[in-house]
Structure 1
Amino acid sequence: MQSQSKWALILVLPACLLLAVIGLLPLLAVVNYGFHDIFSLSDVHWVGFDWFADVLGSDRFLASLGRSLLFSALTLAIQLPLGIAVALMLLGFGRFAIWGLMLCALPLVVPWNMIPMLWLGMIDTQSGLLGPGLAAVGFDYKFTALHTWALILVMDTWHWLGLVVILSYAGLSAIPPQYRQAAVIDGASRWAIFRHIELPRLSGALAIVILIRFVDSFMIYTEAFTINAGGPNDATRFLSLELGEEIKGFSYGQAAARATLYFLIVLAVTYVFVVVTRRQEDRP
């Protein structure tokens, strides 16, 4: 047993070293930059926690944090139920469900930098696929705060819904059909079957989806910047957009401090999520 553990450690060691090189070392460099005022690589001055205090004391930071958390909450509230519903529908297609899964997975392979321009083109009233239809029913997209939020949410849902569908379908298809058949014989409703049979089996897949989608949606950048550059009137100015502005303004020390704070926020949320998930699993 000890020999097997030793060989397992040796086999994992190269992966750990690679992870340290591509992940840990750059992270430590960013944290270090957050304590300095950087004019150039040869002109670096120690400022301590000044950048961190400036960011945390900024009203714009708190407002952007609230918008980012709200966006993540909305994406999860929309994509989780919708993805599970689509997976349940595909489950009834039998062997033909693979075609539905492939269709849902297509947006996942679209390059992320093409998605905003794709949707802006689709809602164009002159040449877009959706624009003329929206105009025909009296809807005029005007880049207001509500319209911009709606477009970003729809675009993000279109892009990532396939991930929720695929993982949910995998969890649902692993449930033995005898469980559902026995529940139907006992007179259980469709909601009761989902609540007591299917949802518990989905908990593992949904935990992964929630964590991945939260982290990704919390740091959304390209879609929000391309659609309206954080506007109108900072309505879609998320945390990542403020970080991008500081990097473009060559304020590398403050940008590093801001990036470190964002990392700590995501790490704290992830830790709480893992603790809550483990407590749920430990319940009898």
Structure 2
Amino acid sequence: MKLHDNRAWLLLLPATALLGFVGLIPLLSVLNFSFHDIFSLDLIHWVGLDWYHEIIASPRFHASLGRSLLFSALTLGIQLPLGIAIALLLSRTGRSGMVMLLLIATPLVVPWNMIPVMWLSLIDPKTGLVGQALVWLGLGFDYKFTALHTWILLLAMDTWHWLGLVVILAYAALSGIPQPYYQAAAIDGASRLAVFRHIELPRITGALSIVLLLRFVDSLMIYTEAFAINAGGPNGATTFLSLDLGEAIKGFSYGSAAARSILYFVIVITVVWAFVTITEHRKRHAAYR
């Protein structure tokens, strides 16, 4: 009888210990804070689930959650199709496509706190190229007091920043498709849509799944850009979950901020769990077909 040697799992102990130190311990500390009303380190009062009851029953929390989910949905709805389309175009341009890919990926290395500054300068009607172009076209763009314009600016800014991630992963997946697949499709007289549906899309699904998960979680917790652009305005139109959390921290309401952090963590974990469950179900279903 062959015995299985599981000692290789011991090699995971250092990584497990590191993850526990940087992840589990802070999470447990925040969870503990969420059950207290904290005035200072010497004035901590147990309040149990009061913070959670107050936040969940708050209409502001529901509104912020709705805005965050809407922003994430719009972000994914814009960036995924656009990124796939660009990757398909670059995959047919040869070596010049690599140069374009590097240019598209450049915004990924720009610090987050610099992005809103750059875009505010860009849309300035006096000095910005886009702002001057809008004035020349007679198009008013008032992101400070018009909610629709603020949303447009945030979506454009987020797309400029993260589109490169979608393009890179989609391009990498497309580059791995063997040429005989395309040759067989050409012999069969398959249309361009059929080639994308039956050859390219199945090959990039795995990469797109990663992008979908990463971009959803990241867009759900947007803070720096939204705060720098209009601080949640106008009239709370861009007050997302993360901005509510930042306001609680700046107001020194650490117990409430901790409870909000735990709720946001639960939301993200729930989304990740649902995503993984659906992905695994589809894989098993495809294997049986």
Place the TM-score, normalised by the shorter chain, in its bin: over 0.9
1:10 shift after superposition: 2.4
SS of the residue corresponding to residue 126 of structure 1 reads coil
SS of the residue corresponding to residue 69 of structure 1 reads helix
* Aligned with residue 256 of structure 2, among 230, 234, 254: 254
Which 10-residue stretch deviates more, 75-84 or 129-138?
Answer: 129-138
The equivalent of 2:167 in structure 1 is 165
| In 2: Cα distance, 1:259 partner to 1:36 partner | 14
Which 10-residue stretch deviates more, 65-74 or 180-189?
Answer: 180-189
1:62 shift after superposition: 0.3
Q: What is the identity percentage for the equivalent residue pairs of Structure 1 and Structure 2?
A: 63
| In 1: Cα distance, 2:93 partner to 2:114 partner | 32
Structure 1: 5+ residue stretches without partners: none
The equivalent of 2:95 in structure 1 is 95
The equivalent of 2:268 in structure 1 is 266
| In 1: Cα distance, 2:19 partner to 2:139 partner | 49
SS of the residue corresponding to residue 130 of structure 1 reads helix
TM-score by length of 2: 0.96
| In 2: Cα distance, 1:98 partner to 1:281 partner | 32
Q: Aligned pairs, how many?
A: 282
1:96 shift after superposition: 2.4
- What is the one-letter code of the residue matched to 2:180? Q
* Aligned with residue 179 of structure 2, among 155, 166, 177: 177
| In 1: Cα distance, 2:107 partner to 2:177 partner | 27
1:238 aligned onto 2:224: no
TM-score by length of 1: 0.97
The equivalent of 2:7 in structure 1 is 6
| In 2: Cα distance, 1:185 partner to 1:150 partner | 45
- What is the one-letter code of the residue matched to 2:253? S
CA deviation string 1:103-132 (max 9, x = no partner): 111000000000001100000111112111
Q: How do 1:71-220 and structure 2 match up within 5 A?
A: 71-143=71-143, 144-220=146-222
SS of the residue corresponding to residue 38 of structure 2 reads strand
1:45 aligned onto 2:51: no
SS of the residue corresponding to residue 38 of structure 1 reads strand
CA deviation string 1:33-82 (max 9, x = no partner): 00011111121111110000000000000000000000000000000000
| In 2: Cα distance, 1:96 partner to 1:185 partner | 28
The equivalent of 2:36 in structure 1 is 36
1:11 shift after superposition: 2.1
1:101 shift after superposition: 1.3
The equivalent of 2:26 in structure 1 is 26
| In 2: Cα distance, 1:20 partner to 1:251 partner | 27
- What is the one-letter code of the residue matched to 1:242? D
| In 1: Cα distance, 2:233 partner to 2:53 partner | 26
1:168 shift after superposition: 0.3
| In 1: Cα distance, 2:176 partner to 2:90 partner | 14
Which 10-residue stretch deviates more, 12-21 or 63-72?
Answer: 12-21
CA deviation string 1:141-169 (max 9, x = no partner): 21210000000000000000000000000
Which 10-residue stretch deviates more, 129-138 or 81-90?
Answer: 129-138
| In 2: Cα distance, 1:257 partner to 1:227 partner | 26
| In 2: Cα distance, 1:157 partner to 1:12 partner | 37
| In 2: Cα distance, 1:197 partner to 1:282 partner | 20
- What is the one-letter code of the residue matched to 2:23? G
- What is the one-letter code of the residue matched to 1:254? S
- What is the one-letter code of the residue matched to 1:132? Q
> CA-atom RMSD, angstroms?
1.0
The equivalent of 2:281 in structure 1 is 279
Which 10-residue stretch deviates more, 37-46 or 262-271?
Answer: 37-46
SS of the residue corresponding to residue 39 of structure 1 reads strand
1:243 shift after superposition: 0.5
| In 2: Cα distance, 1:135 partner to 1:182 partner | 52
| In 2: Cα distance, 1:247 partner to 1:184 partner | 60
